[in-house]
Structure 1
């Protein structure tokens, strides 16, 4: 009995250490998906968006639901002139993003001359519309994916007076920020890291137990970084000027030595 308890304790300790290590080493990217439309010659084109799925990393991972998409019917013809619909805003693991899948429900319809007709979308309902992206997502960087629904090419008029949906969607990727990462030494005490520029608000984070830090979603520009250690450490604060951030890139500072 004692041996079993000891084994459980050892396994629990190993699992906790594994999870902690995995969490420390993981990096995420902020992802937003927006829906826009190229205008079509109809009264309304209503699309029932149920979910957004993405393939990130190795193919074995498969596609995964982002899980926080609120199902909603969108009239595509309202998404013009700078208006868009934010479908999802979340964080996903950094890495190779191969596909985005737009999953539609059953409530798709079109209004022509004041009359409403259903839009048949069998393949989209079952597995989602497969949109190839092939984008490398850098940890700490924010990305916006624009799904441009080209209505005129997406509506099929059948001979019997009915309509079906064969979506034609153009995908554009925008890296909307950069990131700053590095490590502080010594790392026994937590350090506040703050990035400030002349035109933007301060972006602040804390180091983890290994002294690592990452400032996520940093707009492009040149920053002054201030490292403020815990008072109990007896270490002095340090300032590093001229840290530049570019779109879609992680500015790696290496190790910052505190004294």
Structure 2
């Protein structure tokens, strides 16, 4: 993910924390499995950030795998079959934490055994021979300073926190990354250490009974590249301010198409929060992260009705086709 893109930040952080989940990179090996049974629930894992101190320009991590740990199994190795795998990323997937600004980026969604969990492990790519995990400073943004992450490469960055997976429901947690606490400059040694104590687990909701979702796939015409897009969900009837807004980033997909997916959790229609509103989804796509003028025409969806506990695909069939 490229840095320095001016993200759209929703006015209410509470609404974001309660309802938003923007996803553009589902992992493999469990990253897209969402079926449930009487003994399983679906877990969606996202990552976001809190404001950082001003001398940090970026915090870049490359994640190979996301694993969750059931309560009582904290001593198991990350490759133990007793630990559910949420997503694996062949070759690693890069995340610039400071680009998220309270806007969760989905790392994976999969069905896992219902029950209590106490830990999320992020297995990071090694820093050799390629520098995969690093920070840059505001004063010298072109200089990459390596993060010291030996345990995160071997057994995972162990993020502690209790959460519950309810059977037959969509369960969502967000990893809230606080750079002020997670990034530690180690004085005379010159090391910059990544500490799991600077990341906390937030369970957004146990099911979709108090929210619905809108989802879709954004794609350009063949052979037309684009880098990122702002996705905004705005209530209509009556009109109101955006309830969620954030940035998603494109990925190359055969045949010769750049595309990405998103999902946004919002209050259902006729709820206490949104008593009568319908929604429109707006998408503005940009050629590269330095662009300030959209590359494609503004996309505006038809009026959409959101029902609690149900995912609604943006028509037609969840596909948003970018055009000139």
Q: Which category of TM-score, normalised to the shorter sequence, fits these structures?
A: 0.5 to 0.7
- Higher deviation after alignment, 128-137 or 30-39: 128-137
Q: Does 1:32 align with 2:44?
A: yes
Change in CA separation of 1:55 and 1:157 when aligned onto 2, cut-off 3 Å = closer
SS of match in other structure, 1:125: helix
Question: Paired residue for 2:105?
Answer: 85
> Paired residue for 1:97, among 117, 130, 140?
117
Please report how far the alpha carbon of residue 126 of structure 1 lies from its aligned counterpart in structure 2 after TM superposition. Answer: 0.9
Please report how far the alpha carbon of residue 83 of structure 1 lies from its aligned counterpart in structure 2 after TM superposition. Answer: 2.4
Q: Does 1:75 align with 2:100?
A: no
CA distance in 2, matches of 1:56, 1:161: 36
Change in CA separation of 1:25 and 1:67 when aligned onto 2, cut-off 3 Å = closer
Contact 2:60 2:134 in 1 (8 A): yes
Please report how far the alpha carbon of residue 95 of structure 1 lies from its aligned counterpart in structure 2 after TM superposition. Answer: 1.9
Give 5+ residue unaligned stretches, structure 2: 1-35, 127-131, 211-266, 271-307, 310-324
When the two structures are superposed, what TM-score results if normalisation uses the length of structure 2? 0.44
CA distance in 1, matches of 2:125, 2:37: 37
Q: Does 1:108 align with 2:129?
A: no
Alignment of 1:206-225 (within 5 A): none
SS of match in other structure, 1:66: strand
SS of match in other structure, 1:45: strand
Moved over 6 A (4+): 219-222
CA distance in 1, matches of 2:175, 2:192: 22
When the two structures are superposed, what TM-score results if normalisation uses the length of structure 1? 0.54
Change in CA separation of 1:84 and 1:109 when aligned onto 2, cut-off 3 Å = same
Q: Does 1:55 align with 2:33?
A: no
Please report how far the alpha carbon of residue 85 of structure 1 lies from its aligned counterpart in structure 2 after TM superposition. Answer: 1.2
Change in CA separation of 1:141 and 1:164 when aligned onto 2, cut-off 3 Å = same
Matched length: 162
Please report how far the alpha carbon of residue 57 of structure 1 lies from its aligned counterpart in structure 2 after TM superposition. Answer: 6.8
Q: Does 1:164 align with 2:178?
A: no
Change in CA separation of 1:25 and 1:124 when aligned onto 2, cut-off 3 Å = closer
Q: Which has the higher contact order (CA 8 A, sep 6+)?
A: 2
Larger radius of gyration: 1
Give 5+ residue unaligned stretches, structure 1: 1-23, 180-218, 223-244, 247-259
